[in-house]
Amino acid sequence: MVNSPKDSKKSSKNKEEQTTVLISRLTTPLGAMFVGATENGICLLEFADRKMLETEFADIQKRLNAVILTGKNKHILQAKREVEEYFEGIRTVFEVNLEPIGTDFQKTVWEGLHQIEYGKTRSYQQQSEYLGNPKAIRAVASANGMNKISIIIPCHRVIGKDGTLTGYGGGLERKKWLLMHENKHNPNKEGNEKELRLF
């Protein structure tokens, strides 16, 4: 499901080859979001008021030698349907193709995030241990914060060791809402309620 193209550096060096990234807007119960995609998959899903949004656009442009245009393709249309179904509480797994843009380490961390199941949470320490590098908590947390594909790559499911909410690019209120939403619609909700009582 997750595409990890190895030719990003090559394309950035070749000024004659440009990647087109299409951007579209969607409305959610938590506010407007932007969804972006290459021909390979989704590379961006962020709340429109995210403070680092312009930085993320610039990073995508630099790494892919990309031109960003308003528009839609099949990946954007699919992502919009799936995000809508997620907020309706009828989708727990996303199937749209992804093309996360970042360093190799960041992609490894994001793939780890992608493995956290709907309705479950993991602490930063647990995530570091899952990735086989228990001492890299700060590096892992930093990579989490650089995730450009919110909700689908669920960085909101990473919480503090004591169960408290910690930083989230979309804001802590949204993070809490997403976790409560997933707890409510989780078909295997038993066993996760203790974590949610700590919020």
Q: Which residues are catalytic?
A: 155
- DSSP-derived secondary structure letter, 2: B
Tokens of 104: 């190799």
Give the angle 192-193-198 at the CA atoms, nearest 5°: 110
Q: Residues 144, 108: contact at Cβ < 8 Å?
A: no
Tokens of 64: 């892919």
DSSP per position, 18-37 = -EEEEEEEEEETTEEEEEEE
CA nearest to 19, candidates 78, 59, 61, 53: 61
* Rg from Cα positions in the chain: 17
